[in-house]
Amino acid sequence: MTFETGDRVRVLPAQKPGHVRTPGYLKGKAGWIESVIGAFPNPEELAYGLSGLPERPLYRVGFRQIDLWDDYRGPAEDYLYADIYEHWLEPER
């Protein structure tokens, strides 16, 4: 596992063909690691009948809503969690 709870991370802005479980609205956004969920076979490969191995670390990543949406209508304290695989994350300074 590269990341730990509390680490600041950014979701890669990459465009990747095929089955992807990183939603578009999170790409390029910065947040924090809320928890390490575990390691699982990569769904992007399972989707095509491949083994998905080696397993990839999966994290619960938190984002402030005001960082996700320019027009967010709610307090700055509102946030969102999504479960993101490690290969979609990079450290955020």
Partner 1 sequence: MSDHTHEERGSTTSPYAARIRAIEALLLEKGVLTEPEVQDSISYMEARSPANGAKLVARAWVDEDFKELLLSDGKAAASELGMDPEHPAEFMVVENTPEVHNLIVCTLCSCYPRAILGRPPDWYKSFAYRSRAVREPRAVMREFGFEPPEGVEVVVHDSTADVRYMVLPMLPPGTEGMDEEELAHLVTRDSLVGVNVPRSPVRAR
Partner 2 sequence: MGGSPGGRIDRGQHEVEDWERLADAINGALGAKGLQSTDQHRRAIESLAEYRDLSYYERWVAATEKLLVEKGVLTSDEIDERAAEIDRRWNGP
Interface residue list for partner 2 (CB under 8 A): 18-19, 23-26, 43, 46-49, 52, 68-69
Q: Binding of partner 1 at residue 27 (CB under 8 A)? A: no
Return phi, psi of residue 82, to 5°: -140, 155
Q: How far is the CB of 44 from partner 1 (least distance, A)?
A: 11
Q: Round to whole Å and give the CA distance between 56 and 38.
A: 8
Residue with token string 């999504």 = 82
Residue with token string 């089955």 = 19
Q: State the residues that interact with partner 1 by CB under 8 A.
A: 21-23, 25, 37-38, 40, 43, 58, 60, 65, 68-69, 72-75, 77-85
